[in-house]
Amino acid sequence: MGTSRDERRRAADAAVAEVRGIYADLARRPLERACTLRTECCQFAITGRIPHLTRGEALLAARAFRSTGRRALPNPGDGACPLLQPRTLRCLIYADRPFGCRTHFCDAAGGPWPRREVLELIRRLEAIDARLGGCGPRTLQGAVADALAHE
């Protein structure tokens, strides 16, 4: 019989796989969007907007961050996303970036996705969040820091 730690690990593994599946489903949607890696949307202090993550997204982001060999989330003084590499200005977890980073407001990428186009995917992310005992989407910094602390 597994320990509760093993069970939590299995639940986290399943959630991460499901979140990746949701991101893949989004990528298959016919609406064209083209992120050109301008990273303007990663400058939270300038945009005034911060992506909010469900718990499954935060777990995936935390694992992707760890896989870069880093442990603690930095606290950039310029108000940028802590997952933005300051030297290269590249997202450290681009392949696993959160849903909001894929569907947000960036005009250069084609503007925000209409909510009705992605509502069912949002519901699936929320269902994973509820299953993991989350309390709904939280700001990227807090959600990822928490996932790193409890993973």
- Enumerate binding residues for ligand SF4 (CB under 6 A): 39, 42, 51, 81, 83-84, 91, 93, 97-98, 101
Residue of 106, 150, 114 whose CA lies nearest to 132: 150
User: H-type helices in the chain, by residue range?
Assistant: 4-27, 44-47, 55-66, 99-103, 115-131, 140-150
Closest separation between CB of residue 143 and ligand SF4, Å?
11
> Measured from the CB atom, is 14 or 47 closer to ligand SF4?
47
Closest separation between CB of residue 91 and ligand SF4, Å?
3
> Measured from the CB atom, is 51 or 134 closer to ligand SF4?
51
Integer Cα distance of 62 and 79 in angstroms: 19
Closest separation between CB of residue 5 and ligand SF4, Å?
28
Determine what percent of the chain falls in helix, strand and coil, rounding each to the nearest 5: 50, 5, 40
> Measured from the CB atom, is 10 or 72 closer to ligand SF4?
72
